[in-house]
Amino acid sequence: MKALNALFKFKGGVHPDYNKDLCRDQEIKTMPLPSVLKVSMSQHLGAPATPLVKKGDEVLRGQLIGDSSGFISASVHAPTSGKVVAVEPAATATGASCTAVSIEPDGEDKWIDGLKGIDNWENANKKDLVEAIANAGIVGMGGAGFPTNVKLSPPPEKKITTLIINGAECEPYLTADHRLMLEQAQKVWDGCRIIMKILEAEKIIVAIEDNKPEAIQAMEKVMEGTDLNASIAILATEYPQGAEKQQIFSTIGKEVPSGGLPMDVGAVVENVGTVTAIYDAIVKGLPLTERVTTVTGGVIAEPGNVVNRIGTSFQDLIDFCGGFKSKAAKVIAGGPMMGFAQANTATTTTKTTSGILCLGPEKACSYESMPCISCGRCVSACPMKLVPSELSQYLEAEDYEGAEEINVMDCIECGCCAFECPAKRPLVQHMRQGKAHVMIKRRAAQAKK
Amino acid sequence: MTLVTSILMTSGAVAGVGLACGIALAMAAKYLAVKEDPRIGDVTELLPGANCGGCGYAGCADYAKAVVIDDVSINLCAPGAQSVIDDLAKYLGKASEQAEKTVAKVMCGGNSDQAPRKFLYNGVADCGAAHAVGGGDKSCRYGCLGYGSCSRICPVSAIEITDTNIAVVHPALCIGCGACVRTCPRALIKMIPASRSIHVMCSSKDKGPVVKKACKVGCIGCTVCTKLADGAINMEGPLAIVDYSKDLDNEAVVEKCPGKCIVKE
Amino acid sequence: MTEKTENKEASVQKLIVSSSPHAHSGASVRGIMLDVIIAMIPAMAASVFYFGLDAVRLLLACVAASVVTEVASRKLMARDKGIGDLSAVVTGILLAFNLPPSLPTWMAVVGSIIAIGIAKQVFGGIGYNPFNPALVGRVALLISFPVAMTTWSEWIIPNPIGIDAVSTATPLGLVKTSLGAGKGMPFVFDSATAWQFFMGHTNGCIGETSAFALILGGIYLLWRRCISWHVPVFYIGTVAVSAFLLKTLSPGTNMPVAYHLLAGGLMLGALFMATDMVTSPITKKGMAIFGIGCGLLTIIIRKWGGYPEGVSFAILIMNSITPLINRFTRPKIFGARKK
């Protein structure tokens, strides 16, 4: 298997300081069980799960504690065995509030009985495989948390031709996916084969940025001699290569239509972390209860890539990595470009927490809302080819209809515009507000019908 | 050409152009006129002309049209109060409806001393924007953020953001248009009868212990006031809410409230 | 929030929370303006070299008056943030570049006040001005004090043939008069003269004469990504092509192409004035249209207009249609659906 350079290049994009050296060479470590795990019912995109346990209940690892409610939702499982000590609202990583189940581990970490993988999955029924993935509560672990079983069940009229495995990890600082590909390449590849079996796509492309040569090598090795129509696409290191639409363009040269989904161009993109979770669910029958999170940033004493149970508090993870060596000014769930800044370190990890980034005061950039000087850097940087400066002026004037007309809904909130803005305007915040307003309006219009 | 003739020529030309334009305009006014119920204009005249939008229509003329054509209720104009309703009733020959002056009230008393900020917010100085980042920087997730979205939208500048970062409506200035009610992202502002003086200054739907931790003047859901108020204060979950349709004269509720969130103004 | 409470809160170790992204390129308005000032250093040096103390006098007067006006008007309008972004300094230097060396100091001060006070702050300050402030200042002076604004120092280019060696003309004005009178080029414009013009040893406004110094600055701006190549290339290109066409069609009544490029304010205009971020389009396509428009207007004014020089007016006219250009050159979005 020889990796080849990607044939296409999306317009726009930026080159932030990657700072991956902090933990790209840190082997994945497993964190011991913390004193309490607080598992949010909102681990994913869509409707929060309905809690199935109450205070005082005893649970076992892998036991269903939150039932998926609705089509776009995902089930939640107990990350360890122990006692439920609280079921109450808690702040999620985005600052919203959602019910969370707090579990005090009993230390035995006993799995629930009856978990069984699908033997000989190569010959299994497609439907059974998707169902097993749904039952394991797997969601997109790259960040958005879209329920994977929904993604893997495209309507019959949409023919999926290409499966793209997203190993770009274009967010600065984060190295969790990089380490996964490096240390567990075989597992990643087996997971890919399971998805190929489900989708019956014509080809599979593993997309990796060229700043991870070791990962590329490792994947080349395990993919050697496969009978699938497989290839590795080396992407130029540029943010946001890992954004779904941009990655599809880089690998197969097709633009996902505005307002559409990847399946509209016959593609499905799955994150590397998700792929390993799928492997565990199918081969071992294990629900998703842990993930690799990169704990990093200039103020962390010993940055590293840590396997932690869903529901571990940020503080526990930071302590496991040696704590703060100097005062932190900003704690971010995710990477610096799209992550969510946290009010405190009591937030707990979810299936989508790819990283915990702690920045000192000198790195915590601030927004000033100066007037736009029309330099046009945001226009050059926008990978969706929008005009962020103009949009932000519309949104500052609360002209949401005007903003909708010039495509505010196509914004992917990647942050390239605000990254480049010399006036330090809070462009992404404007876009988010605008998108929220337009969504409210659209929902109201739909309700009327 | 002498000076006199050139002056005459110039005056004549200007007068001619003016005359032609005047005739054209007069013709346009006559033949291109849009037929409109004359009462709409009259009703618009009767309205206060604040164009606040409080009635739910896009300005006074639009409301006048709705009143005349669609027979919409005549008591929707809050700034006009009783006198406008009387005028409209007289003009349209309808029964005068009773209306009590309503004013906006921010149902939160937790200023930055009582409910401090839990983090340093950096971004757009707008309540909606701040609410969406990390859930808002106020310790209480239901409390007034104090970034002044209501104050900016108020057509008569009746809302002040105090030095301790909380919005306060000045009832004497408020015309009751309700623009602030629609703009507050935390739905803290309510329209209440102007004559009332006892209020529960809290909107938190959190349970007692959570409220106590977040704010020094929050409603902890103890239900003491409901017993004293004789049905004029009811519990909605863990929150006491004044029923403004009933009389509330027992001032003991103010003193007895352990959360110190009931005030008399 | 007052600053005091902010400091008090910061001392109890609260985290900062903002919307993403949490990384920034480090670019700032001040940094960009500083780059522009650095890019103007060669031209400033050239102006002092050729015009001596007069250049120093005008530069100092314009910069000081611009900064003072900026501070005063911000204060008057009760706005925060003053001169930290250095844009007033840039405007001051650019205005000085556009003034003849003999201009009285007080007129330069008046020009600066108009540039900053009226063309910039009245519209709301940096970012909101529709026209390039320095150009507005220059044009206001040109209209108000036409004699002072077109009186130049002694004739330094080769002796004109057949025309009185008037000391009050720029190379462009002299040639325009001569060609207009059907007398052809008033002096020999050979490669030696062209080189002399290119280096800046000629009559003109203090900052516009040395194409060499201006191009050095322009290259620095391009390298620092402060301007994109579109505006200067399309502007100068359009002037060159149109001048070539005119010269080919009627050699007797038109100036040589090189003369168009080197004898007036084209280099200063194309590299430093038309590229002003605030008043030029934001998209690459828009910049190209803007440059072509400036080029055509410059040629039209120089050839048929009342003034010998058309760069200032051309750029100001194009400034006025910048919002329109922006509107019609919005890029096609990623994944745009066919309508």
- Of A257, A372, A377, nearest to C127 by CB-CB distance is A372
- Which chains share 3+ C-beta pairs under 8 angstroms with B? A, C
Asked whether the predicted pLDDT for residue C23 surpasses 60, the reply is yes
Cα Rg, chain C, nearest whole Å: 22
pLDDT of residue C159: 57
Query: Averaged over B95-104, what is the pLDDT?
Result: 77
Beta pairing, strands A290-296 & A267-271: unpaired
Query: Averaged over C119-124, what is the pLDDT?
Result: 91
pLDDT of residue B169: 93
Nearest CA in chain B to C6: B120
SS3 A248: helix
pLDDT of residue C9: 40
Assign C82 a pLDDT band (cuts: 50, 70, 90). Answer: low
For chain A, what is the mean pLDDT?
Answer: 91
Is the CB of A369 inside 8 Å of chain B's CB atoms?
yes
**Secondary structure in 3-state letters for chain B:** CCHHHHHHHHHHHHHHHHHHHHHHHHHHHHHCCCCCCHHHHHHHHHCCCCCCCCCCCCCHHHHHHHHHHCCCCCCCCCCCHHHHHHHHHHHHCCCCCCCCCEEEEECCCCCCCCCCECCEEECCCCHHHHHHCCCCCECCCCCCCCCCHHHHHCCCCCEEECCCCCEEECCCCCCCCCHHHHHCCCCCEEEEECCCCEEECCCCCCCHHHHHHHCCCCCCCCCHHHHHHCCCEEEECCEEEECCCCCCCCCHHHHHCCCCCEEEC
User: Of the ranges B1-10, B209-218, B243-252, C177-186, which one carries the lowest mean pLDDT score?
Assistant: C177-186
Is the CB of A367 inside 8 Å of chain B's CB atoms?
yes
| Interface contact flag, A337 C28, Cβ < 8 Å | no
| Interface contact flag, A330 C283, Cβ < 8 Å | no
- Of C21, C283, C337, nearest to A376 by CB-CB distance is C283
Per-residue pLDDT reduced to its tens digit, B9-19:
999 999 999 99
Nearest CA in chain A to C17: A341
Chain A interface mutation, best of B120, B127, B133, B147, highest count of A Cβ atoms under 10 Å: B133
- Of A95, A260, A415, nearest to C21 by CB-CB distance is A415
Total residues belonging to chain B: 265
Q: For residue A370, give every residue at least 6 positions away whose Cβ sits within 8 Å of its Cβ, in sequence order, or none.
A: A423, A424, A425, C29, C81, C85, C126, C127
Asked whether the predicted pLDDT for residue A203 surpasses 50, the reply is yes
CA angle A272, A274, A280 (to 5 degrees): 110
Asked whether the predicted pLDDT for residue C185 surpasses 80, the reply is no
Burial (CB count <10 Å: 0-12, 13-18, 19+), residue C73? buried
Asked whether the predicted pLDDT for residue B112 surpasses 90, the reply is no
Assign C153 a pLDDT band (cuts: 50, 70, 90). Answer: low
Q: Which two tokens stand for residue C20?
A: 């993403």
pLDDT of residue B113: 85
Asked whether the predicted pLDDT for residue C339 surpasses 70, the reply is no
Measured between CA atoms, how close is A426 to chain B, in angstroms? 6
Query: Averaged over A210-238, what is the pLDDT?
Result: 92
| Interface contact flag, A344 B119, Cβ < 8 Å | yes
Tell me which chain B residues have a C-beta less than 8 angstroms from the C-beta of C5. 112
| Interface contact flag, C10 B120, Cβ < 8 Å | yes
Assign B78 a pLDDT band (cuts: 50, 70, 90). Answer: confident
Identity of the amino acid at A254 = K
pTM of the model: 0.87
Asked whether the predicted pLDDT for residue A305 surpasses 50, the reply is yes
Cα separation, A7 vs A5, in Å, equals 6
Query: Averaged over A138-144, what is the pLDDT?
Result: 87
- Of B128, B135, B137, nearest to A97 by CB-CB distance is B135
pLDDT of residue C11: 39
CB B92 within 8 A of CB B74: yes
pLDDT of residue A19: 92
Assign A449 a pLDDT band (cuts: 50, 70, 90). Answer: confident
Query: Averaged over C97-113, what is the pLDDT?
Result: 94
Assign C10 a pLDDT band (cuts: 50, 70, 90). Answer: very low
Tell me which chain B residues have a C-beta less than 8 angstroms from the C-beta of C6. 120
Per-residue pLDDT reduced to its tens digit, C291-307:
999 999 999 999 888 88
The ipTM (two decimal places) reads 0.86
Measured between CA atoms, how close is C16 to chain A, in angstroms? 5
Per-residue pLDDT reduced to its tens digit, C28-44:
999 999 999 999 999 99
pLDDT of residue C5: 40
pLDDT of residue C264: 85
- Of B112, B118, B123, nearest to C19 by CB-CB distance is B123
In terms of Cα–Cα distance, which of C190, C206, C212, C195 is closest to C61? C206
Cα separation, B42 vs B34, in Å, equals 16
pLDDT of residue A356: 95
Asked whether the predicted pLDDT for residue A381 surpasses 90, the reply is yes
Residues of chain A with pLDDT > 70: what percent? 100
Asked whether the predicted pLDDT for residue A407 surpasses 50, the reply is yes
For chain B, which residues lie within 8 Å of any Cβ of chain A, measuring from their own Cβ?
118-119, 122-126, 128-129, 132-137, 141, 206
User: Of the ranges A324-338, B236-250, C138-152, C166-180, which one carries the lowest mean pLDDT score?
Assistant: C166-180
Measured between CA atoms, how close is C101 to chain A, in angstroms? 31
Per-residue pLDDT reduced to its tens digit, A311-368:
999 999 999 999 999 989 999 999 999 999 998 899 999 999 999 999 998 888 778 7
Is the CB of A95 inside 8 Å of chain B's CB atoms?
yes
Asked whether the predicted pLDDT for residue A280 surpasses 90, the reply is yes
Query: Averaged over A5-18, what is the pLDDT?
Result: 89
Q: Which two tokens stand for residue C249?
A: 């069609």
| Interface contact flag, B135 A342, Cβ < 8 Å | no
Asked whether the predicted pLDDT for residue C12 surpasses 50, the reply is no
For residue B138, is it left (φ>0), alpha (ψ between -120 and 50) or beta?
A: beta
In terms of Cα–Cα distance, which of A314, A319, A358, A305 is closest to A335? A358
pLDDT of residue A53: 93
| Interface contact flag, B119 C16, Cβ < 8 Å | yes
| Interface contact flag, A336 C22, Cβ < 8 Å | yes
Question: How many A×C Cβ pairs under 8 Å?
Answer: 168
In terms of Cα–Cα distance, which of A352, A325, A377 is closest to C24? A377
For chain C, which residues lie within 8 Å of any Cβ of chain B, measuring from their own Cβ?
1-2, 5-6, 9-10, 14-19
Assign C154 a pLDDT band (cuts: 50, 70, 90). Answer: low
Asked whether the predicted pLDDT for residue C87 surpasses 70, the reply is yes
Assign C62 a pLDDT band (cuts: 50, 70, 90). Answer: very high
Chain C interface mutation, best of A20, A358, A387, highest count of C Cβ atoms under 10 Å: A387
Tell me which chain A residues have a C-beta less than 8 angstroms from the C-beta of B136. 95
Residues of chain A with pLDDT > 90: what percent? 74
- Which chains share 3+ C-beta pairs under 8 angstroms with A? B, C
Is the CB of C280 inside 8 Å of chain A's CB atoms?
yes
- Of C2, C14, C19, nearest to B120 by CB-CB distance is C14
pLDDT of residue B71: 82
Question: How many A×B Cβ pairs under 8 Å?
Answer: 46
Per-residue pLDDT reduced to its tens digit, A260-278:
999 999 999 999 999 999 9
For residue B71, is it left (φ>0), alpha (ψ between -120 and 50) or beta?
A: left
User: Of the ranges C17-21, C62-66, C185-189, C328-332, which one carries the lowest mean pLDDT score?
Assistant: C185-189
Asked whether the predicted pLDDT for residue A69 surpasses 60, the reply is yes
pLDDT of residue C8: 39
Question: Euclidean distance between the first and final Cα of chain B, in Å?
Answer: 83
Per-residue pLDDT reduced to its tens digit, A77-101:
999 999 999 998 888 888 888 899 9
Tell me which chain A residues have a C-beta less than 8 angstroms from the C-beta of B133. 95, 341, 429
Assign C105 a pLDDT band (cuts: 50, 70, 90). Answer: very high
Asked whether the predicted pLDDT for residue B43 surpasses 60, the reply is yes
Which of C 57-116 lie inside 8 A of A, CB atoms?
81, 85
